[in-house]
Amino acid sequence: MSFVLDNAVTMCWLLNDGKPAAVAYASRVLEALKDGQAVVPGVWGLEVANVIAKIEAKALVTEARTQAFVATLQQMNIVVDKATASHALGGILHLAKRYKLSSYDAAYLELAMREGLQLATLDDALEKAARKAGIKRFDVR
């Protein structure tokens, strides 16, 4: 099974913090990746790198831990969408304005809509926008 993976879920794997329900959801998504495939927009790697740089600067994690995490991510069945940039000033911009999302979050929604996939997210605004757009949250129960 394929689904769109939001950066918030990815970062929950690294930080393992947040509400217990969110951590449990992220763990279930990670488990689903053993037999499934995640698809991410082209901005995903930049978002991962940005969060890692910020949390290392705040000494929330060590560089060794983030290097190991990145190596693990690179081994996962995560496919980066090569068409994200070509949709930036069209569908992504439209969704960002329509649902009052950042363009980054709208990229996840646009990808889920374009590919007809469910969205694995912990972002409340993105989940609400996805629901309004007819995109289901990836259910891993």
Domain holding 106, by residue range, is 2-132
0.85 cut: is pTM over it? yes
Answer whether residue 138 is part of any domain: no
For 40-67, letters b (16+ CB in 10 Å) and e give bbbbbeebbeebbeebeeeeeeeeeebe
| CATH number of the domain to which 77 belongs | 3.40.50.1010
Answer whether residue 106 is part of any domain: yes
Number of domains in the chain: 1
**pLDDT by position in tens, the chain (length 141):** 899 999 999 999 999 888 999 999 999 999 999 999 999 999 999 999 999 999 999 999 999 999 999 999 999 999 999 999 999 999 999 999 999 999 999 999 999 999 999 999 999 999 999 999 999 999 876
Answer whether residue 44 is part of any domain: yes
Answer whether residue 137 is part of any domain: no
Which of these, 108, 117, 124, 132, lies nearest to 41 by C-alpha position? 108
Answer whether residue 68 is part of any domain: yes
Answer whether residue 141 is part of any domain: no
